[in-house]
């Protein structure tokens, strides 16, 4: 996702136009919402969620996007749920995004998120990412679930992408996600030879509720490293939401089940 965002930023600079390739090519405001358990100080810039400590991104204009990032757009409520928000600063007109990065790294096993939000109805310029990523090694060691239309309402809104351990050439699959409600579960499972994905309607892993399974092609050079988890909510090419509305997504839980 980060590699894609950097690539797209370069393309945008060179061509001054939005992304026009296949959808598989993908990746601080003052927030007035408060919670007694949850606002994070800029000094601390960490949050505890689902039994792990997460660094909160807070910095000036930077990729992906580029966007502005604010710790005010990340909090954990009294239920223990993580909130990620994109918001607009009324004074400056700037939009601010949200990202957290796990202190811990994770290897082989199943990664599972329970997500609340109409992720199938996100504005075309909104991207929600749930992923493994090795910072600084663009084009390698990344495993993505991304809810995004990449600025184009005609493109699919649900994206799986895996980058290799070495060499070049990601593999991906996209689908048009249509939900029965606003609660969904999203998973991928890593081992030394493959990554397998699956989503579920509701907070369940019942096969009766499953949708869009996909596994990397046989022989694909998947990452074998233990990697941190990123969760982010950002604006494609740094463009404001086309509908002009702020957006908030709630992650009820993240779970890692070792292989």
- Residue 102 pLDDT class (50, 70, 90 cuts): very high
What residues does each domain of the chain span?
Answer: 2-24+100-258
- Please check the confidence at residue 35 and state whether its pLDDT lies above 80: no
Instruction: State pLDDT tens for residues 107-119.
Output: 999 999 999 999 9
- Please check the confidence at residue 11 and state whether its pLDDT lies above 90: no
Percent of the chain with pLDDT over 70: 83
133 vs 29 pLDDT, higher one? 133
Instruction: State pLDDT tens for residues 207-226.
Output: 999 999 999 999 999 999 99
- What is the per-residue burial (b if ≥16 Cβ within 10 Å, else e) of 58-77? beeeebbbbbbbbbbbbbbe
Contact 229, 99 (CB under 8 A): no
Mean pLDDT of 179-186: 95
Mean pLDDT of 158-169: 97
- Please check the confidence at residue 181 and state whether its pLDDT lies above 80: yes
Q: For the whole model, what pTM was predicted? A: 0.85
Mean pLDDT of 182-207: 98
Closest by CA to 254, choosing from 38, 33, 40, 52, is: 52
Average pLDDT, the chain: 87
Query: Which pLDDT does position 44 carry in this prediction?
Result: 56
- Please check the confidence at residue 16 and state whether its pLDDT lies above 50: no
Fold of 2-24+100-258: Jelly Rolls (2.60.120)
Closest by CA to 258, choosing from 104, 116, 142, 126, is: 104
Q: Give the span between the Cα atoms of 236 and 249, in whole angstroms.
A: 16
Query: Which pLDDT does position 180 carry in this prediction?
Result: 87
Q: If DSSP states are collapsed to H, E and C, what string results for the chain? A: CHHHHHHHHHHHHHHCCCCCCCCCCCCCCCCCCCCCCCCCCCCCCEEEECCEEEEECCEEEECCCCEEECHHHEEECCCCCEEEEEEECCCCCCEEEEEEEEEEEECCEEEEEEEECCHHHCCCCEEEEEEEECCCCCCCCEEEEEECCCCCCCCCCEEEEEECCCCCCCEEEEECCCCCCCEEEEEEEECCCCEEEEEEECCCCCHHHEEEEEECCCCCCCCCCCEEEEEEEEEHHHCCCCCCCCEEEEEEEEEEEEC
- Residue 60 pLDDT class (50, 70, 90 cuts): confident
- Residue 42 pLDDT class (50, 70, 90 cuts): very low
Q: Give the span between the Cα atoms of 148 and 145, in whole angstroms.
A: 10
- Please check the confidence at residue 20 and state whether its pLDDT lies above 90: no
75 vs 138 pLDDT, higher one? 75
């Amino acid at each position: 996702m980060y590699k894609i965002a950097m690539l797209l930023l370069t393309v945008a600079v060179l061509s001054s136009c939005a992304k026009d390739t296949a959808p598989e090519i993908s990746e601080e405001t003052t927030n007035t919402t408060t919670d007694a358990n949850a606002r994070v100080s800029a000094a601390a810039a960490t949050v505890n969620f689902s039994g792990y400590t997460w660094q909160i991104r807070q910095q000036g204009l930077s990729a992906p996007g580029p966007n502005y990032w604010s710790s005010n757009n990340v909090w954990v409520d009294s239920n223990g749920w993580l909130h990620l928000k994109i918001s607009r600063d009324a004074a400056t007109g700037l939009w601010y995004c949200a990202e957290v990065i796990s202190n811990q790294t994770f290897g082989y096993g199943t990664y599972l998120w329970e997500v609340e939000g109409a992720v199938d109805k996100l504005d075309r310029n909104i991207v929600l990412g749930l992923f493994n990523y090795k910072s600084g090694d663009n084009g390698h060691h990344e495993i993505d679930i991304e809810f995004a239309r990449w600025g184009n309402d005609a493109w699919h809104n649900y994206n799986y992408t895996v980058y290799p351990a070495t060499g070049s050439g990601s593999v991906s699959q996209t689908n048009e996600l249509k939900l029965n409600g606003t609660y969904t579960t999203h998973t991928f499972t890593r081992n030394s030879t493959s990554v397998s994905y699956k989503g579920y309607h509701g907070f369940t892993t019942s096969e009766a509720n499953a949708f869009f399974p996909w596994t990397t092609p046989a022989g694909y050079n998947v990452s074998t490293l233990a990697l941190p988890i990123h969760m982010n909510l950002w604006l494609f090419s740094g463009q404001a939401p086309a509908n002009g509305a702020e957006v908030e997504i709630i992650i009820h839980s993240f779970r890692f089940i070792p292989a």
